[in-house]
Amino acid sequence: MAFEYLKALHIIFIVTWFAGLFYIVRLFIYQVEALEKPESERIILSPYLNLMARRLWYIITWPSAILTLIFGFWVLYFRWGYMQLGFMQAKLGFVLLLYIYHFICHKIFKDLQNGKAKWTSSQLRMWNEVATVLLFAIIFLIVLKSLISVVWGIVGLIGLSLLMMLGIKWYKKVREKETIK
């Protein structure tokens, strides 16, 4: 019974971590766009967006990432035999990539908190989709428990990534047309 509670807590913190990762990059986009606004708007928007990002990052996203890791190791302890299986090794590889993504987001966060935008809003929109691709990979691996399915999953992820990039480009054109009007 304890294992089921640990697994439930692990899943809950995965969900809150992803929610934080998805929303923080959206806030990064708003922060970058606020830095491009006239001084009068920037003075109002930037401190507010910085505060929102700081609260999200340190109160939700970081604690969720840490608790996901703790409960994930705890769950794995009860199912240590899974470490022998290829799907679990692949899943943990994607989880490692997710933590790398998290640390890169932390660097972006720190830069923006200091008023430095090294990424454009378009680059950040594409960056935001990386978490989506990793989410798909991790969920499909853990549910299907099959490396053969991973091959088809990777093909699907590549297709999904291409569709998302096309969607981003389309959205950018729509926004540009709205700005012109």
The list of the chain residues with pLDDT below 50 reads none
Can you give the pTM of this predicted structure? 0.84
> Binding site residues, as ranges?
10, 91
- Name the residue ranges covered by the structural domains of the chain: 2-180
pLDDT of 3 reads 87
Distance CA 86, CA 58 (A): 34
Distance CA 98, CA 78 (A): 23
Amino acid identity for residue 12 in this structure: I
DSSP annotation of 119: S
pLDDT of 41 reads 93
Distance CA 115, CA 144 (A): 44
First to last CA, the chain: 60
Please, where are the H alpha helices in the chain?
2-35, 39-55, 62-78, 86-113, 121-144, 147-180
> Binding site residues for heme, as ranges?
10, 91
DSSP annotation of 37: S
Amino acid identity for residue 48 in this structure: Y
For residue 72, CA distances in Å to 56, 88, 91, 114 come to 22, 12, 12, 33
DSSP annotation of 79: T
pLDDT of 162 reads 84
